[in-house]
A and B are shown apart, each in its own frame.
Chain A
Amino acid sequence: MKDDFLKIIEEYKEMKNSDIPEIEVNKVFEKIEKRITESPQNHIGFKKKLALGGFAALLIVAIFLFFSLFVFKTEKKQELTLSELKTEIVIPDKNIKIMWFQKRGFKLKNYKTEGGKNE
């Protein structure tokens, strides 16, 4: 059984070896030479490309964050339009100022006194 298999393999090997076509040796070498000389000298490998790509992506994200956080930060604290100051009570000893406005929706806590504390 094993011998039969090896016999077949031997026959197959013989046929395959006689079956190999001829090639134009010099012509093929010219093609190899051409491929070597024409390939870019500073060819960048896949890993290097990946690392460069990652670095570039990181840089873009950093720039984007910088601009979004510092440069394009146009949103400022809205200046509160105080409409019609109705009344004002000042207690100088306690450093307290009580004010009352007519405008609805006005958030008193956003209004700062000279001392900087929220009222």
Chain B
Amino acid sequence: MIKERGLIELLKEKRIEALKILYKENYKMIFSIAYKYTNNKEDAEEILQETFVRAFKSIEKFTSENESSLKKWILKICTNISIDYLRKRKLKRIFGISEVKIRENHETPSVNFEKKEIKDKMDYAISFLSPKQRIAFNLKYMEGFSLREISVIMGCSENTVKKHLQRGTEKIKKYLKKEKLL
């Protein structure tokens, strides 16, 4: 906590070394989350960059009273950028501006066919969730955050998070049932 306070002070003084510390501590988490939203390395990297640029520029807005920790505040920024990204991608898909790359192949030969099928179908089902449903779903099931933490990150009430999660999981379950995976 003391270390974090010192880091915030240095960031407010616009010290780039402080940003580097913050980056080294959080890049894995941010990139992993961004990659799960985008399924694309370049886009996830872009979200990662934008998150830290925005965090550095708006560090004055960070208050430990409002946000529980610097990590969650960065996650909040990452979430907002990701929501924008997902909305733009959805628009592009609707208007057919460009074909969206749903997934990339990074699987190793050891991944068996059944698992690959589950992954592909889950990716497909998740691609139909709204940006907010997808964020809530990822934070809950992939990152293991509690409802309260998700509500802080997403800047909404716990009930709203519950609603997003409920609708999101319903959509996924419906698809999985159709595909006879459930």
B85 at interface by CB-CB < 8 Å:
no
Residue of A nearest to B106 (CB): A19
Give the residue of B27, B172, B173 whose beta carbon is less than 8 angstroms from that of A28: B27
B:26-63 near A, CB below 8 Å: 27, 31-32, 35-36, 41, 45, 48-49, 52-53, 56-57
**B182 engages A19 (CB within 8 Å):** no
- Chain B neighbourhood of A11, CB < 8 A: 115, 118-119
Q: CA–CA, A39 to B119, complex, Å? A: 40
B101 at interface by CB-CB < 8 Å:
no
Describe A's contact surface by its main secondary structure: helix
B7 at interface by CB-CB < 8 Å:
no
Query: Count the A-B residue pairs with Cβ separation under 8 angstroms: how many?
Result: 76
Residue-by-residue, is A84-109 near B (CB-CB < 8 Å gives 1, otherwise 0)? 00000000000000000000000000
Give the residue of A13, A15, A21, A39 whose beta carbon is less than 8 angstroms from that of B141: A13
**A1 engages B141 (CB within 8 Å):** no
A69 at interface by CB-CB < 8 Å:
no
Distance between B174 CB and nearest chain A CB, rounded to angstroms: 11
Interface size class of B (residues with CB under 8 A): 35 or more
Segment at the A interface, from B15-23, B75-83, B151-159 = B15-23
- Chain B neighbourhood of A9, CB < 8 A: 122, 141
Q: Can you list 26 A-B pairs, Cβ within 8 angstroms, ordered by A? A: A1-B182, A5-B173, A5-B176, A5-B182, A8-B122, A11-B118, A11-B119, A12-B119, A13-B141, A13-B142, A15-B111, A16-B142, A19-B106, A19-B119, A20-B32, A20-B35, A21-B104, A25-B27, A32-B52, A32-B53, A35-B49, A35-B53, A36-B19, A36-B56, A39-B53, A39-B57
Chain B residues with a Cβ under 8 A of chain A:
16, 19-20, 23-24, 27, 31-32, 35-36, 41, 45, 48-49, 52-53, 56-57, 104, 106-108, 111, 115, 118-119, 122, 141-142, 169, 172-173, 176, 181-182
